[in-house]
Amino acid sequence: MKEFILTKQETERTILVGIITQAQNEAKANEYLDELAFLAETAGAEPVKKFLQRLEYPNPTTFVGAGKLQEIKTYIEENEIGLAIFDDDLTPKQLKNIEHELQVKILDRTSLILDIFAKRAQTAHAKSQVELAQYQYLLPRLTRLWTHLERQRGGIGMRGPGETQIETDRRIILDKIARLKVELKQIDKQKAIQRKNRGKMVRVALVGYTNVGKSTLMNLLSKSEVFAENKLFATLDTTVRKVIIDNLPFLLSDTVGFIRKLPTHLVESFKSTLDEVREADLLVHVVDISHPAFEEQIDIVNRTLHEVCGSADKPMIIVFNKTDAFSYIEKDADDLTPRTKENISLEELKTTWMAKMNDNCIFISAKEKQNIDELKEMLYNKVKEIHVTRFPYNDFLYQKYDDNDTSIEE
């Protein structure tokens, strides 16, 4: 039995597959595959090659065309690849056909994100949420797991046990889904009671795309040790800390990061996590200003907040983080070609966004602790506006012993 016990986790070599369509040009498709590569690395895989094909729409049976699939198969065989990851969700039929053709493990974007969530989940709450999402994703894909037992031909004597096994598994999974939903409802009640017990203090929630530095900022403002790492979905559980700026206390929560094409199953499973956002009085939208597609990430987060949380009308400030990592290409004086996003300097972005947001934005570097005092001052003013309307008699405010002391205390 020793040969079946894995003592060392080997890095899987993988290829990435995407398509170029009318709605997704080549630059976008490449950008999305770069994000998929980051997801793969977060999951522990090693991306070695990207495959792109221009199609009007995904092939309904194999996602890509027959010629491209053959090209991928040849590369896999010649380079000992054990995993292929597709940037879009695959139907059960596509999964079955691609696996049959390539003879390697196939993942789509949703299954990869689910794998990362399962790896990152630490608490019982997060584990239950991920388990529910996994079962909901697995349910319509059961048929491909039992192809060796399925009935291949009709006729007397050819009715195998496959369909019975699939129905049994479906019933087991449905029972587990029902049980997990009951468990999560109980946890939701407990979380609601916890939120109620926090009193009427002003609540501030950090939101944003994944890997923009929310947890690093949380640690900086609350002097806590929330897990932060340069990987996608480092934080799954919502963390709430009491923060005091000057004489003003408030609650600050760090939430799970959003991402393009966030799987529906995950959104459903993590509703209780998003309750912190729903009940927040002020949203702090953290943005990675060094990312080339930061504007698209802002749109994705805003759409998700509107669709999932109904938080479009909440007061919000935008914190442009990672100014230390920002770079741009300065155009030569004799270059007459139109300027692109890569040619815009940080100073121009600051002027543009501060005019657009009516000064409800700020540029910082949480890693280098740049402009943090200005952020604290902005937070103080915004939270105090909410606080004084709710508590006209200065309830919960701390006594100011030193007007010059504006440090954060625990």
Annotation: binding site for Mg(2+): 215, 235
Residue with tokens 């090659």: 49
Residue with tokens 């949203």: 283
CA distances 409 to 169, 370, 399, Å, are 54, 19, 13
Q: Please give the Cα distance from 90 to 111 (Å, whole number).
A: 10
DSSP 179-226: HHHHHHHHHHHHHHHHHHHTTT--EEEEEEBTTSSHHHHHHHHH----
Q: Please give the Cα distance from 105 to 83 (Å, whole number).
A: 5
Residues at the binding site are 208-215, 233-237, 254-257, 321-324, 365-367
Cα 385 from chain centre: 31
Q: Of 276, 253, 257, 279, whose CA–CA distance to 266 is shortest?
A: 257
Q: Please give the Cα distance from 41 to 293 (Å, whole number).
A: 20
Residues at the binding site for GTP are 208-215, 233-237, 254-257, 321-324, 365-367
Residue with tokens 């060392």: 8
| CA-atom Rg of the chain in angstroms | 25
